[in-house]
Amino acid sequence: MTALVESRIAVPEAVLEDLRTRLRATRWPDELADARGRWGPRRELVERLCARWAEGYDWRRTEARLNAYPQFETVIDGQKIHFLWVRSTASRGVPLLLTHGWPGSVVEFLDVIEPLAHPGASGAPDAIGFDLVIPSLPGYGFSGPTSESGWNLQRIARAWQALMARLGYSRYGAQGGDYGSMVSARLALLAPDEMIGLHLNMALVPRSIGELSELEQADLKDVVTFLKTGSAYQVIQGRAPQTVAYGLSDSPAGLAGWILDKFERWSEHDGEPEQAIDRDRLLDNLTVYWVTNTINSSMRLYAEAQLVDDFGPTREKVSVPTGIAIFPKEMFRYPRAWLEQAFNLVHYRRMARGGHFAAMEEPDLLVDDVRQFFGGLPQRDAVGLLAAEGSR
């Protein structure tokens, strides 16, 4: 099947009511007062989020917001792929593939769609615009669970190449963080002649040598701290995702605790993650995982990637022109010299604020950097492709 089928999200009310019932019946774990927050998210924080999820949160509002954009399904390599396809109204621009990561979803990008696709209506009439293709990773969200093993980063990159060809784009850019960064970098290696540019808000590189500034030393110290104290989930999800999936698929409070831990650790705030990301936006993301029952298949990507020893940096240098935005709370902040060894780095910017979930935390900063990067590429690559591809 190579057809594109128009799609809309319509979660049955019974699924939402079951969610609320489960939340109200949560059996909460104990918590040591002298260890609160040390070994996982604070109980008070998870309880507060779940109380909102059960009583005041409105999924239908987010569902309507998603359904305001054209959505499609197609089958690639035997797997359903769901994606938003928002075509630009700008007079110049490029097709851009936006890829989320874990524990994210397509709702990460809700606040960047309008300014990227319709810069004139967003107060930037002279800015470059983008035809946006925003898929859910295989095994994530509305793409549904994967039905067979083997869906690793390379296979997803091949699927993305097939998706863009199916949509009629022979030249395009890619942007991503987290797994979106890893998939996009592998796509750049797979299809360098198709890629106009690669923009990342998380860039992974092999360790190198050389003198480091004080700032770079501090950055690497944070990387080491994360690997020592914040990466246990990678081991669990890389080796035994099915084990924890029984609890996370059955208990929305368990799911909330597992995912909220990452938003609390990886976003920039003064103790409350809602300072960085609105509480209902956190619940939007959680609800996508819950109503699609994809927490297990999403975690499997860690096992799939590690099984073929292809998790993290690419093994080859990316030749595609690359722009990298470094947000201060991003856990992987590598020296520029290391990045230049791994990528054809033509644009580098340290941001004033924000963390790992850039599109949710600081959408304006991310939009501005994406525009600067693609707008600064050689004229023949950066403009006019929308009309050339016939995407009007």
The residues that are catalytic are 178, 302, 356
- CA–CA–CA angle 297, 302, 306 (5° rounding): 135
Strand bridging mode 93-99 / 172-176: parallel
Cα gap 279→276, rounded to integer Å = 9
E-strand stretches of 151-226: 172-176, 195-200
Locate all alpha helices (DSSP H) within 56-173, ordered by sequence: 59-67, 113-117, 153-166
Both tokens of residue 186? 């592998």
Cα gap 48→243, rounded to integer Å = 27
Both tokens of residue 61? 């509002």
Cα gap 91→109, rounded to integer Å = 22
Neighbours of 352 (CB within 10 A): 9
Closest among 130, 122, 71 to 97, alpha carbons compared: 130
Residue carrying structure tokens 């397509």: 106
